[in-house]
A and B are shown apart, each in its own frame.
Chain A
Amino acid sequence: MDRRIFPALIFLALTLTPAFFYLSGRSPDDVSLLRKAEYAEPLSGGKVRCELCPHRCTLSDGQTGVCRVRRNIKGTLYSLVYGRPVALNNDPVEKKPLFHFHPATKTLSIATAGCNMNCNFCQNWEISQAAPDSVTPYDLSPAQVVALAKKNGSDSISFTYTEPAVFFEYMRDIAKLAREQGLRTILVSCGYLNEKPLRELAKHLDAANIDLKGFTDEFYRTYTTARLQPVLDTLKVLKQERVHIEVTNLVIPGANDTENEIRELARWVKKDLGADTPLHFSRFFPKYKLTARPPTPPVTLEKARAIALKEGLRFVYIGNLATDAGEDTFCPKCGKRIIDRSGYFIGSNLLKEGCCPFCGETISGRWR
């Protein structure tokens, strides 16, 4: 036998084994189980461009977008997650966090796999960074989701945990049906969505909490693989569409925690969204790939809150941390405590028809 056969055998073994292991994890697409995706532009050569989010992925046959859940199958773009949520919880609305929207109510929170950002600090990476076939989904139509919310006494349905934009069609259908049946709808998103689908969605939304992850494009590119401007545009569109907006900023040590960045962020929120927009500074906990950073020091969060208040924002909160006042709502006019919160627990809510009980000042928000 030619002795060169042995190196060849080793080469074959080394190359074929990983290929076999890789292929064994793939399953063919059954198109009959999938839903055609909207906002897809057919291109020549069987390619498709997804127009849902600013990535605008151009996909050849068999390719899946950055989000992992929209795939070109023979020239048609499909959503791989329509009717296949992977997380379902009946959460307190404060968990979203929404502090100025029907406090102390439950919201049925739903998510599918996938996200159009790849944040290395993702707090829900188990499902957001997963391909649909690598996690176990439930099988729930929009009507079943709405029925589940009603059965569990939810006041609203939240699209949350992962990035809801990636299950746009499913979210829109649920939202539409939910509103018809008297439930409210909430979007908890990173805000990376193109204007056209966003305006369509906004018609069926009551509230949104948008994660403004940082205030420099460099931060977005380095930590999230996305860009800042589209997120700012989303916030402005939601404002125009009269959706109740709250903004969350996860403060990460050494990443987006400079006083200047916080100040610029607060200034922009005040100028473009209004001084009444609630802003939540959230404490970072090490997760996913950013596990060599400590949680955000309390002093950084306190300082961020002080800066935002000084810049003229009227409702600034601290999340994920026990503080004396960071989770409470104070009347911006008389300074008295109106809503006392401890985590998800509402100790007291003195609000009277949306106004301060002490001075009568109107407190911005959507209250029961």
Chain B
Amino acid sequence: MRARFDHALFIALLLGLVTVLSQTVLIRELMIATGAFELVVAVGLSLWMLFTGAGAVASVLFPILRRPFAPPVLLALVAIIAVGQLFLVHPVAALFGTVGGMALSVPAMVAVTAIVLAPGCLVGGLAFPACVATVRGGAERTGLVYLIESVGMALGAALFYLFMEFFSPVRHPIFLAHYGERYRPEELVLSRDGRSGRLDVTRRGDQTAYFWNGQAAGVAGPSRPAEAFAGFALTQRPDPRRIAVIGGLLAGTAVEVARKSPEAVVTVIESEPMFEEVFAAGTVGRNGVLRFGDPGAVLRELPPQDLIIIDLPAPSSVSLSRFFSREFFSFLQKDNGPAMVLVVGLSGGQGMLTPETAALNRSVQLALRAVFRKVLLLPASRHLWVAADNDLPTADPVFIEERMERRGLAGDWFNTALVQDVIEPMHRELTGAAIEKADARENRLLRPAALFETLRHTARRLDRPLPSLFSSLPSRPLSYLGVTFLFAVIVAVALSRLTRRRMAPARSAAIFAVSGGAFTLQLALMALLQLHVGQIYHLIAIFTVSFTVGLTAGLWVSRRMVLPLNLSAGALAFLSLATAWSADSATGAAFPVAMNFLAGLSAGLSFGTLLRGSGDGGGAAFYLADLVGAALCGLLFGAFMVPLYDLRWVFGAVAILALAGMAAGSVRERASGR
């Protein structure tokens, strides 16, 4: 009997480990296969939890799962299916696109994610109640299995970094051969996973092309877009001695800037350290210096710069949006003095502004205007925003042409004809007016309006424009919260009714709310981590470990002492409000990670209390309430709210969820007479 007990717990441990590893790998692969739209991360995590919850519920249909052999068999199946899922990702995505490698519409992206994730998640969902049924532990067995599975998840998350380094799928020849097919007729010559994404390099004929997260990012050697961007940027600051380029390595801008400024020291700052393996020191010429790290941290170490050029992808994530925020611009201003000129590249399109791109440009324009005395627009195919506290920047074509000639910047593409085309009076006037009229909020660190507009633009590109109701949501936080909370309450009540025979409805509702609050807090803290630290793919392991270690500790403590739910769920609410209060302080990685541990701890303590005496049949009901609560609340109050509102609203929503959990828990306690 003792052996069976250990055996099932060991299976639960391995289940947690395998689940976390496969989750991280599959969601990144889905992101690459579906067009690098980061919404797939939220969709993937939510579907993961929903399918796992569905699997847990479905387990009641299979009495055979109560047999001792069931957990190891299910674990083996989860592991085997995970490998199959990895190989399925790209072929399934190809089914939904008319041609290979095509970016998918939002419904197609959801469908691909669901098809790929469903098999493994459903089997994983069956495994949890199977483990609960086969361990000893009486009424506390659900809590025990949850604890052990959490330990497994913590181990899996810790192993993730090693996994990424040594067992990354793109380093495996079999996977690489299969993966390379998406680039045919190009030949995939290199593929590397890094902290913030995947770099693929292809070659065909005389051309080497770079792909970032599966999307074309640039080619080696001269290119017209890079020449135009660098040319216009360099005319904005006469005779710069020190130039910093943030990004622009893959797009070729950095190389072009260094090539055209032989007299200046050009520091190219890339936040992805993996690029160091791929790009040699001389890539940006003899006067260029490649630095890897967070741009803010690197710039702090450098002497004041004369010209700073930001050439980053569109602000499609919280970590990218910060480089277009008022706070970052303010830092650049203070760090570099009044002689500095800042040039920011942003999606534009000559005369092709959609309401979303106009609003995106407006949000950045407002942020620049809040900081700098002079802000100009050069509306090229990629818009250049020029800002300074001096009078050096100019949009006068005569001055630009004069500077171009004097410094020998003219080339095959960047020449007087292009200058006159970009700064053609009617074009400039109409574009400027469209941006001024756009309804957008200033892009701030904690309120990433640029991210919201970029997401709207991506939705238009992949599918269709979001209805006008969406664009009005940013100004209606209370309406949004009211409707979404009502929806969450309906789902929580429905779930508790569905599982009332296995678990008291109030207990289920409390688990739903606490789980939703804890997961939303985790997402909000992840956003905070991105805002202050940058790309965090490499930190996800540490971050997830911090939560699961806290969760595990909470569950362990609650098995030894009974803590009132008011204390643990109240702690969750307090933590959230405390984080909101200090959200705009640059605290480094330690603060969000520590808060995440405490969030896990309070969730673990709450679950421990709520699971006490949940009985034999409570496993599936608990898992369902936990996962659906986390998935739904994570989407509604985390993934959707972060780009819509100030991050502090999200922390407020977490506090409300925790308080709702306390209220539901107190109903349970009153009902049970405790």
Contacts and interface: CB of A to CB of B under 8 A. Distances in A.
B102 A289 contact: yes
A95 B426 CA distance: 17
A23 B100 CA distance: 33
Interface stretch (A172-180, A200-208, A338-346): A338-346
Contacts of B412: 322, 342-343
A290 interface: yes
A204 B487 CA distance: 59
B204 A289 contact: no
B424 A90 contact: yes
A63 interface: no
B209 A295 contact: yes
B470 to A, nearest CB: 7
B250 to A, nearest CB: 12
Interface stretch (A5-13, A304-312, A355-363): A5-13
Given A24-B469, A298-B206, A322-B224, A343 B462 contact: no
A89 B427 contact: yes
A342 B413 contact: yes
Interface string A172-208: 0000000000000000000000000000000000000
A348 interface: no
Interface string A297-339: 1111000000000000000000011100000000000000000
Interface stretch (B215-223, B332-340, B547-555): B215-223
A221 B124 CA distance: 42
Interface string A230-266: 0000000000000000000000011100000000000
A: contact size bracket:
35 or more
A13 B487 contact: yes
Contacts, number: 182
A294 B207 contact: yes
A29 interface: no
Interface string A120-161: 100011110011001110100000000010001000000001
A263 to B, nearest CB: 18
Nearest to B356: A126
Nearest to A344: B417
Interface stretch (B178-186, B527-535, B584-592, B616-624): B178-186
B223 A295 contact: yes
Contacts of B487: 13, 17
B207 A299 contact: yes
A294 B219 contact: yes
Contact of B219 (A90, A92, A295): A295
Interface in B463-477: 464-470
Contacts of B184: 254
Given A285-B225, A344-B418, A124 B490 contact: no
A251 to B, nearest CB: 12
B101 interface: yes
Nearest to A300: B205
Given A222-B99, A223-B99, A95 B421 contact: yes
Nearest to A94: B417
A293 B224 CA distance: 17
Given A24-B467, A292-B216, A294-B204, A322 B98 contact: no
A126 B467 contact: no
Interface in B99-152: 99-103
B215 A292 contact: yes
A330 B432 CA distance: 40
Contacts of A131: 465
Interface in B311-357: 349-355, 357
B214 interface: yes
Interface stretch (B65-73, B301-309, B492-500): B492-500
Interface string A97-130: 0000000000001000000000010001111001
Contacts of A321: 224
B293 to A, nearest CB: 28
Given A91-B421, A291-B35, A10 B99 contact: no
Contact of B426 (A20, A90, A92, A322): A90
B628 to A, nearest CB: 11
Nearest to B427: A89
Contacts of A297: 204-207
A21 B469 contact: yes
A95 B186 CA distance: 29
A34 interface: no
B216 A253 contact: no
27 contacts: A9-B494, A10-B494, A21-B469, A22-B467, A90-B426, A91-B421, A95-B421, A120-B102, A126-B349, A130-B354, A130-B465, A134-B354, A136-B355, A161-B351, A222-B99, A254-B100, A290-B101, A290-B103, A292-B101, A292-B216, A293-B216, A294-B209, A299-B205, A300-B205, A322-B224, A342-B415, A345-B417
Task: Kindly list the 9 A-B residue pairs having the minimum CB-CB distance in the complex, ordered from nearest.
Answer: A25-B467, A292-B101, A294-B209, A6-B494, A345-B417, A297-B207, A344-B417, A299-B205, A286-B216
Interface of A: 3, 6-7, 9-10, 13, 17, 20-25, 87-92, 94-95, 109, 120, 124-127, 130-131, 134-136, 138, 148, 152, 161, 222-223, 253-255, 285-286, 288-295, 297-300, 320-322, 342-346
Given A90-B427, A134-B355, A320-B224, 16 more contacts: A89-B351, A92-B421, A127-B352, A134-B460, A134-B464, A291-B103, A292-B35, A292-B103, A292-B182, A292-B211, A292-B215, A294-B202, A298-B205, A298-B207, A299-B205, A322-B412
